[in-house]
């Protein structure tokens, strides 16, 4: 019976040692006599480690979806100014069509459609001009 109690006590002590954080680091070395252990120069050469305990909170930042979507979509500006300079439709399609913001993505896709329509219209118009003899090469 005595050895079992001793083993149980040892196991509890080992579990407590595993759950407790290590003691804090102290840079000062205890004075030792010449015969007690390694010399002072040997102690200074050995690396010393200090446990760093980082406590993390389980709380995640709460961002309301309505707050995240409350900025003006820049792609809408590309769409509006694309009527004056159609190149801006291409820029708006490239930079905004795959945005995580749903309104930004919608305007980016609108820019993409306008860029495609502008390209097709330009090709058809140029073909018609060549066919009618309006443009001489």
- Distance (Å, rounded) from C-alpha 45 to C-alpha 36? 18
pLDDT in tens, 14-54: 776 666 666 666 665 555 555 555 555 555 667 777 888 88
Task: Output the pTM of the full model.
Answer: 0.48
> Are the CB atoms for 108 and 93 separated by under 8 Å?
yes
- Neighbouring residues of 92: CB distance < 8 A, sequence distance ≥ 6: 74, 75, 77, 78, 79, 82, 107, 108, 111, 112, 115
Question: Which are the contacts of 112, defined by CB distance < 8 A and separation ≥ 6?
Answer: 89, 92, 93, 97
Model confidence pLDDT, tens digit, residues 84-134? 999 999 999 998 888 888 888 899 999 999 999 999 999 999 999 988 888
**pLDDT score at 90:** 94
């Amino acid at each position: 019976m005595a050895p079992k109690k001793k083993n149980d006590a040892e196991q509890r002590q080992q579990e407590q040692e595993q759950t407790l954080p290590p003691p804090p680091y102290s840079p000062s070395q205890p004075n030792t006599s010449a015969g007690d252990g390694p010399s002072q120069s040997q102690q200074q050469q050995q690396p010393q480690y200090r446990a760093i305990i980082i406590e993390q909170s389980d709380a995640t930042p709460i961002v309301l979806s309505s707050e995240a979507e409350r900025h003006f979509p820049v792609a809408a500006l590309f769409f509006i100014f694309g009527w004056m300079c159609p190149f801006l439709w291409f820029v708006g399609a490239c930079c905004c069509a795959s945005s995580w913001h749903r309104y930004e993505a919608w305007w980016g896709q609108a820019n993409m459609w306008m860029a495609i329509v502008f390209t097709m219209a330009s090709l058809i118009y140029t073909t018609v001009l060549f066919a009618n003899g309006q443009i001489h090469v």
